[in-house]
Structure 1
Amino acid sequence: MRQRWQRARRAVAGLAVAAMAGGGLTVAAAGPSAAEQDTAHTWTVAGPGGSDLSAELDLDAAGELRLAVDRGGAPVLLPGRLGIRTSLHDLTSGLRLVDRHDRTVHESYRMTTGKQLQRSATMREATLTFAGADGARLGVVVRVSDDGVAYRYVLDDTGPVTVEQEASTFEVPTDAKAWVQPYQPSYETERTETTAGGANAAQPRTCTGDVCSFGYPTLFDVGGTYVLLTEADVDGRYSGSHLDHRDGSSSYQVALADNAPVTAPGPLATPWRTAIVGSLDTLVGSTLVDDLAPPSKIKDTSWIRPGIDDWSWLSDGSSPGNFDRQKDFVDYAAAHGLPYTLVDAGWQASWVPELVRYARARGVDVLLWFDWNDLRTQAQRDSWLPKVKAWGVAGVKVDYMYSDAQSTFQWYDAILRDTAQLKLMIDFHGATIPRGLQRTWPQVMSVEGVRGEENGQNPTRDIFLAFTRNIVGSMDYTPTWFSRPGRQDTAARELALPVVFESGWTSLGDKPEGFATQPVAEDYLEQLPTTWDETRLVSGAPGQQPAGDRQVVMARRNGDRWFVGGILAGAGDTMNAPLSFLGKGPWLLQTVEDAASGGGLQRTVRTVTSADTLSVLAQANGGFAAIACPAVKGRTDCDDPVVTAPATTLTVDPASATAAPGAGVTVGAQFRLPQGDALHQVHMTVDRGRLPAGWTVTGHDVSAGTLPAGRVLSGHWTVTVGKDQPGGTVEVPVWTEYANPAGQGAPPVHVEEVVRVSIPLHGNVYASDQPFLTETNGWGPVERDRSNGETGAQDGNPLTVDGTVYAKGLGMNADARVDIDIQGRCTRFQASVGVDDEVGGKGSVNFTVLGDGHQLAASDVVRGGQPAVGLTADVTGVHTLSLVVGDGGDDKNFDHADWGGARLTCLD
């Protein structure tokens, strides 16, 4: 078969492909003649230009299709089955060729993240159309580039298409060295070095019988050529997949998530089955996964800003629930020029807006963590995402998806659309691996899909990741935790990790006190960007080196500076980094490495050229970090100045006010820079867009082209409450923005205060429409106008007790309590209370109403399946109303308690 494929390659070598100037798609169609359709059973797709890659397809006597890959004429992937089975057609055998078209695909595009911002890709493409035994058509699209081969299926059914199984199989020589990851949807299992045939022994817990499942990307060394298997362009039309392997065999078969069929509207183009092929340099520099993805759906990406954040959860697990402690992390980010702070699980809606205001005044933006269960439905996203955007949050980190199912990819489609519309950046944690997502949706800053720093340390794993997972997209590894108890590596290695690993948002894992113990590292991290113009593998490999250790050195360029990071796993050794990636002339090279003793770091600066080699004597599980910059006259190091936002004051008068519907409040504001260089492009306003419908603002915005220190910028407005505004408290935002002194495209610094306008409660008021002063709940959050549901916000059902549905009310789970400010203006509270029908007759609870801490009314124990009980209380003169649910004397299981129709009668 190999000789026949070589003859076929020569036969098609003369296909004419014309280049279209300026990029885009170039097509030169060439279908087979009638004679060729009857006799040809082998077809070759050669790579572009001087590429040494080719893909060869063969159709055997049974009409079964196979694909192999050669590099430089030598086999890399052996012939592997192709084909697909749908609910209507078996397109795995009995195939015959009916058409072929060839073209060259050339695209130039720009990314917001990744190993290289500006991209250019050229691929030769052949679309071969086959007819099945029943006449159904199967299109096989094959692309070959300088760095790999990919294929996909195209089904032209006009109605819904249900794919039951793919025959897609990669064939790898059994003796090829392999680096595999046992498949779990979290992608958080350890990678193992083994062989292609013996991989199943790596982790039998993901096996069924003699078949084991492995996750992408999977790396093989086939006679010195590396092959990285993965997939690209997966969205809600399909599911993710993984590889199934029978013990001892050479076959790795594509298996759909959960072994479940997928259904999509026709015609259907499946994801790309992708093999990145070449040297380790080729793999590390490959952009093939993104090249195969659809173009960006976002035209204006000016609001998308990768960067470093300090993240408290890893080193200080309880801190995300502590407002004052989060301010410490904001202060640290502000002092060191970090653009973001990330607030993880435990934050409270009651104080996040204030934290955001505190941070933005210091030039720091807040990123906010979410459990995906709180954003799972469209209703949840429509509630939460506009709210956090109004607070001033710059982006969200969403966690715990843990699925490759089609329904999960449909959820990705939806939340990506929603965040793009709101201009919210996003990071997917507890997620699948990237499959070109960051090209199509450039607001995606990073994706976990990795066993990272939070899952314990494994220096060998980190070497593997540089040659596997991080090749296919940004990796939310959460590196750099100097103060980690029992740390298994050196400080220099921790510092190198955010250079070795690419991530659009890099979440540093230590706390301010931990960073402060390593001032040399702080200086380095202040300089570190997260976007790259170029990435180079300098040295290293995933397998053991002759000296018995594993290491990798990576260089990434941002502008005219190269950042270099090297990590080592194993015994101490000399790490050699040839500097041939540097340009002409002399360069300054400042290197940070471990001090000989004491656990600290030391920095050296020297002059080098591209002919030199950097040699660092690394300690066990050690490493180094470096910066190289052109050696211009007068420059003594590679550090750019760290510019931070100056301290300013914005005062509003009054800070709070009371106004009835239709009444006005006069608001004054003064903004001042006490000292320092003058501010520029200063603008002050009342944020009309964040006021409720019906509210109006009169008065003009105030601006100053330059505002010197000591001068006051003043503004005055009248804010009129809407005539239909219900009682409660509304925050009126007043803010000043000025040009960020950091420049370089940094967003304006935003300084904001609010005037809290209290509108007297009047008439009939529903408890679910009022803000909570405090909130506790035994299972997930308290729900407004729906049952408790599960742990996500707004994931409940209509409030229903013994078949009676309530449009308004509160859903809780014992033990639970909410406190509401009713201003001393209400006289009566009433509700119909009981256990929600969603627990199927289970559960037992009791209800209590408190007024300013005193019991006003209480129910007996109410059980699931019983009718609702009426509960009323005289609340005359009460300021704080508390609604409390107990567990009925047993445990809290199934205690879904409804306050149906809970409402207050207040003064007019």
Structure 2
Amino acid sequence: MPSLSRLAAGVTVAALALAGTTVPATAAPRQDTWTVSQRGISAEVGLTDGALHLDVERHGRTVLSGALGLHTTGADLSSGLRAVDDDRRTVVERYETTTGKQRHRATPMSELRLELRGADDARMDLVVRVAADGVAYRYELPEAATITGEASAYTLPEDAPAWLLPYNAWYEQNRVATTAGGAEAGDFGHPSLFEVGEDFALLTESDVDGRYSGSRLRHTEGTGEYHVVLADETVTADRTPWRTAIVGDLATVTESTLVDDLASPSKIRDTSWIRPGKVAWSWLSDHSSPSDFERQKEFVDFAARNNWYAVLVDEGWSAEWVPELVRYARARGVEILLWFHWTRLDTAEEQDTVLPLVKSWGVRGVKLDFMESDTQERYRWYDTVLAKTASLELMVNFHGSTIPHGLARTWPHIMTMEAVRGAENYPLPVNNPVQAFTRNVVGSMDYTPVSLDTGIQRASVAHEVALPVVYESGWQHFADSPEAYERHPEALRFLNQVPTTWDETELVAGHPSRGAVFARRGDDRWFLGAISAGEPRTVSAPLRFLDGGRWLVEVIRDGEGPRGDVVRSSRVLTARDTLSVEVAADGGFAAIACRAWPGRTTCDEPLQHVPSSTLDVSPAGEVDVTKGESFEVTATFHTDRDVRDVRLSAVAPSGWSVSGRTVTRHRLPAGEHLTARWTVHVGQDSPSGYVDVPVVAEFDAPRWSDRVHVERAVRTFVPPPPLAGEPWVSDVPFVAETNGWGPVERDRSVNESAAGDGNPLTIDGVVYEKGLGTHAPSRVEVYLGGQCSRFDALVGLDDETTEPGSVAFRVLADGAVRYDSGLVRPGPGIPVSVDVSGARMLTLEVTDGGDGKNFDHADWADARLTC
């Protein structure tokens, strides 16, 4: 093989690899091996007796080897192969990211394309790329074929230490420390880490989407062999993803961007709307709070005080109050993110209706959960939902998901993905270091860190505080409550400073089984995170990542007491120094480093807040309107600080119109009022029910990067047609509905979370054709308009649950309780007959009985009105 030479730009390639010369197949000499190299990493492809194999070396040391090939219904492309052509080139990927360990990327890769022919002249191209941080290959076919599997496999030394993830499709098992040969027979998920002498290899895949199927590694017991197994029995495709081995020392592996480098380029040209940041999240610390509007406002207030980007409202939110929560939050400089079970968006129709609706409320992103599949069909769903959210400028967090495959490069509005046994599973601290060397290497990881009062409380407070540096995630969803963080003000002080995207990342020290120390740079500050597993010890961090000169280093470490606040100390150090900290059992520390100058005492930057503002609108209460009617809206706006480029407008709902001008002001001094008046025309084709008329004030504020959005709404009600006769409630329109799990079902039980997935309504063995299937807590409003006299039903718990629940049923007329069942447990249906004479609005409520909502499937059977 020709010797290697270092180019001026620091890129090493195999001699002659850049020629790109194609030799006609008839003239090509027989060649059994092809070698591709890049800066100490080499891949040798061999063709022996018609079978392909791959050997990967680092600095002359063999790290792994393995078989190559593809099986289709029409050809066996793993044997009887012959090479007919080869081509070489250098590929340089230059791009910027919205999230990740390194914002600006420039990666040279040497590429070999080997054209192969099998029986009946069936063609397959093997494409191999080698970078300074690893090797990847893929298969390409001249046209789509039905692929039945791959011959792709990796062979590691049997005694190589290994950190493996027993496979499930949501990647949330505990990783096991074993050896390549000693691991149990079975399937293991990507990425899988192996230590081979001086080197490490992290096996994973890249550029996986709906064009193919996901895969896993199947171990052959008693050997070091791991075969690539697809999630589907067959896949229709013309190419495979990149089978990817990140290779190097631990620093090379953890700092690698190879998975992103191999992925398809961004499909989004303008990324200015994408905003990483810190997120307050209530579900883990206060499980019922996502259904509590007032509690969510407290999380918004906390986020605003601490300059956190957003609040995630998890499972349990209500469409009745989310728009108002969004208005409340945005006026304080906080955005709202909403949770969805993926089945709420599993059809094109749902994506085209639900997502535009929440976008119209002002929601900035969605958390999509429980996909739990690596099949090609599910990956096609990822493709469609990512395209739709991108078109609406909605950011995305995937939970219950597959791992990143470079998706955040292709779709940079992906802020993070779960696919980890995170804080919600209460993992032991001993499981924390390995995630930094495995799962988090391949993309942002929504571990939901920093549990101070919630969870098992085994890791020290400083260990928890260090996690947002050790773990990279474009959105960091912090796991605890405002009260917990405010009881730890020094911990909160650090969290308020730590970024969620990074310009530079370096592994400082660590090992998957013992601990991890990472340094990450955001702008001109370095943040250090160190976590340790096991007994108390001294953790040392050489500061070689710092540039020359003197640096102020503030260290955040555990204080006195098992769950007390962290303490902060500072010193001036240089890149020649080593920072050593005594840490507790399962402890850690964090640090911030900034340039030292005379008089500088802290690296903290001031927190930014939007100006306080007031937007008053009239009419202030709910207004009944009829189709074709017009009414006046007025607004008055002011702030407590000078602001610029103010714009005050009223927004017409769909099918309505607004007369009157938008009022603008180049500069609005503090306390000065801006007023406007409009005439709103109700559309003749307006839907019935509640319709909000938003009034919006937008402005620019000093030291605030985004335009501030302050919104109030005039609440109107467009009455539906009057009811007559004896209609079933399941046949009339709902004015509003909320449900504890999935949508309210008509003439079916609630069953699971998908719309229309219910079973026949069944109470104590009796099946009912008509009625409502709900899940506590639920609420259904029906407009009566004074036209009805009686409501009748049979209420009870549906038989579909395997464990008993308990609920209470209530019937309200114009907000007044007319019937309360008291506590209801499984048993026969209870007859309900309520006088609703003269009532404008009927409300049917189900509460959880006081013991939580699990198994609370509640039916309103034979629900009927007399009108």
| Shorter-chain TM-score range | 0.7 to 0.9
Are 1:77 and 2:60 an aligned pair? no
Q: Secondary structure at the match of 1:757?
A: strand
In the alignment, what sits opposite 1:538? 508
In the alignment, what sits opposite 2:542? 578
Q: Pairwise mapping of residues 262-281 of structure 1 onto structure 2 (< 5 A)?
A: 262-264=235-237, 268-281=238-251
Q: Secondary structure at the match of 2:753?
A: coil
In the alignment, what sits opposite 2:635? 669
Q: Which amino acid aligns with 1:349?
A: A
Question: In the alignment, is the contact (CA less than 8 A) between 1:780 and 1:788 conserved in 2?
Answer: no
In the alignment, what sits opposite 1:110? 96
- Structure-1 separation of matches of 2:120 and 2:443: 41
In the alignment, what sits opposite 2:361? 391
- Structure-2 separation of matches of 1:134 and 1:34: 17
In the alignment, what sits opposite 1:720? 681
Question: In the alignment, is the contact (CA less than 8 A) between 1:664 and 1:720 conserved in 2?
Answer: yes
- Structure-1 separation of matches of 2:221 and 2:679: 76
**1:850 CA displacement:** 8.6
Q: Pairwise mapping of residues 431-446 of structure 1 onto structure 2 (< 5 A)?
A: 431-446=401-416
- Structure-2 separation of matches of 1:321 and 1:518: 27
2:668 to 689, 707, 710: 707
In the alignment, what sits opposite 1:31? 22
Question: In the alignment, is the contact (CA less than 8 A) between 1:170 and 1:253 conserved in 2?
Answer: yes
Question: In the alignment, is the contact (CA less than 8 A) between 2:491 and 2:565 conserved in 1?
Answer: no
Q: Pairwise mapping of residues 510-529 of structure 1 onto structure 2 (< 5 A)?
A: 510-529=480-499
* Greater displacement, 135-144 / 875-884: 875-884
Deviation readout 1:754-775 (Å, 9 max, x if unpaired) = 1112234446799778454554
Q: Which amino acid aligns with 1:64?
A: A
Are 1:220 and 2:181 an aligned pair? no
Q: Which amino acid aligns with 2:715?
A: R
- Structure-2 separation of matches of 1:18 and 1:892: 64
Q: Secondary structure at the match of 1:121?
A: strand
1:614 to 579, 604, 608: 579
Question: In the alignment, is the contact (CA less than 8 A) between 1:572 and 1:621 conserved in 2?
Answer: yes
**1:489 CA displacement:** 1.5
With over 3 angstroms needed to count, the CA separation of the structure-2 counterparts of 1:563 and 1:116, relative to structure 1, is same
Are 1:53 and 2:58 an aligned pair? no
Question: In the alignment, is the contact (CA less than 8 A) between 2:242 and 2:262 conserved in 1?
Answer: yes
Question: In the alignment, is the contact (CA less than 8 A) between 1:824 and 1:876 conserved in 2?
Answer: no
In the alignment, what sits opposite 1:595? 559
* Greater displacement, 185-194 / 766-775: 766-775
- Structure-1 separation of matches of 2:313 and 2:159: 47
**1:725 CA displacement:** 2.6
- Structure-2 separation of matches of 1:892 and 1:193: 38
Q: Which amino acid aligns with 1:662?
A: G
Q: Which amino acid aligns with 2:167?
A: Y
- Structure-2 separation of matches of 1:179 and 1:878: 65
In the alignment, what sits opposite 2:710? 751
Question: In the alignment, is the contact (CA less than 8 A) between 2:739 and 2:775 conserved in 1?
Answer: no
* Greater displacement, 731-740 / 481-490: 481-490
Q: Pairwise mapping of residues 303-702 of structure 1 onto structure 2 (< 5 A)?
A: 303-484=273-454, 486-543=456-513, 550-597=514-561, 599-655=564-620, 656-673=622-639, 675=640, 677-688=641-652, 691-693=653-655, 695-702=656-663
In the alignment, what sits opposite 2:141? 155
Question: In the alignment, is the contact (CA less than 8 A) between 2:723 and 2:787 conserved in 1?
Answer: no
**1:57 CA displacement:** 1.0
Q: Percent identity?
A: 47
Deviation readout 1:42-67 (Å, 9 max, x if unpaired) = 111222xxx11111111112x11111
2:2 to 1, 6, 10: 10
With over 3 angstroms needed to count, the CA separation of the structure-2 counterparts of 1:520 and 1:830, relative to structure 1, is closer
Are 1:40 and 2:1 an aligned pair? no
Question: In the alignment, is the contact (CA less than 8 A) between 1:18 and 1:28 conserved in 2?
Answer: no
**1:30 CA displacement:** 2.5
Are 1:120 and 2:106 an aligned pair? yes
- Structure-1 separation of matches of 2:116 and 2:794: 65
- Structure-2 separation of matches of 1:57 and 1:903: 76
Question: In the alignment, is the contact (CA less than 8 A) between 1:379 and 1:794 conserved in 2?
Answer: no
**1:333 CA displacement:** 0.6
Deviation readout 1:350-408 (Å, 9 max, x if unpaired) = 11111111111111111111111222222222222111111111111111111111111
Q: Which amino acid aligns with 1:710?
A: G
Are 1:65 and 2:52 an aligned pair? yes
Are 1:880 and 2:841 an aligned pair? yes
Are 1:736 and 2:728 an aligned pair? no
**1:10 CA displacement:** 3.4
Q: Secondary structure at the match of 1:215?
A: strand
**1:800 CA displacement:** 13
**1:712 CA displacement:** 0.8
Gaps of 5+ in 1: 1-8, 21-25, 201-210, 544-549, 802-808, 840-846, 856-870
Question: In the alignment, is the contact (CA less than 8 A) between 1:37 and 1:97 conserved in 2?
Answer: no
- Structure-2 separation of matches of 1:498 and 1:892: 36
Question: In the alignment, is the contact (CA less than 8 A) between 2:743 and 2:750 conserved in 1?
Answer: no
Q: Pairwise mapping of residues 226-305 of structure 1 onto structure 2 (< 5 A)?
A: 226-257=200-231, 260-264=233-237, 268-305=238-275
**1:742 CA displacement:** 3.8
The RMSD of aligned alpha carbons is 3.5
Q: Secondary structure at the match of 1:39?
A: coil
Deviation readout 1:182-225 (Å, 9 max, x if unpaired) = 1111211111222111111xxxxxxxxxx311111111111111
With over 3 angstroms needed to count, the CA separation of the structure-2 counterparts of 1:816 and 1:742, relative to structure 1, is closer
- Structure-2 separation of matches of 1:814 and 1:178: 45
**1:794 CA displacement:** 3.1
**1:34 CA displacement:** 4.7
Question: In the alignment, is the contact (CA less than 8 A) between 1:28 and 1:104 conserved in 2?
Answer: no
- Structure-2 separation of matches of 1:758 and 1:330: 28
- Structure-2 separation of matches of 1:166 and 1:290: 23
- Structure-2 separation of matches of 1:464 and 1:295: 29
**1:787 CA displacement:** 5.9
With over 3 angstroms needed to count, the CA separation of the structure-2 counterparts of 1:296 and 1:788, relative to structure 1, is farther
Q: Secondary structure at the match of 1:363?
A: coil
* Greater displacement, 567-576 / 760-769: 760-769
Q: Which amino acid aligns with 1:132?
A: G
Q: Which amino acid aligns with 1:73?
A: G
TM-score (norm 2): 0.88
Q: Secondary structure at the match of 2:166?
A: coil
Q: Which amino acid aligns with 1:124?
A: S
Q: Which amino acid aligns with 2:594?
A: C
- Structure-2 separation of matches of 1:894 and 1:681: 52
- Structure-1 separation of matches of 2:28 and 2:10: 27
Deviation readout 1:222-273 (Å, 9 max, x if unpaired) = 111111100000001111101011111121110001x521123xxx121000
Deviation readout 1:107-150 (Å, 9 max, x if unpaired) = 21010000001111111111101111121101100001111100
- Structure-2 separation of matches of 1:721 and 1:112: 42
**1:574 CA displacement:** 1.1
* Greater displacement, 765-774 / 137-146: 765-774
**1:513 CA displacement:** 1.1
With over 3 angstroms needed to count, the CA separation of the structure-2 counterparts of 1:624 and 1:895, relative to structure 1, is closer
Question: In the alignment, is the contact (CA less than 8 A) between 1:176 and 1:196 conserved in 2?
Answer: yes
Q: Which amino acid aligns with 1:648?
A: S
Q: Secondary structure at the match of 2:100?
A: coil
Q: Pairwise mapping of residues 93-108 of structure 1 onto structure 2 (< 5 A)?
A: 93-108=79-94
Gaps of 5+ in 2: 12-16, 763-769, 801-808, 820-831, 848-853
**1:829 CA displacement:** 10
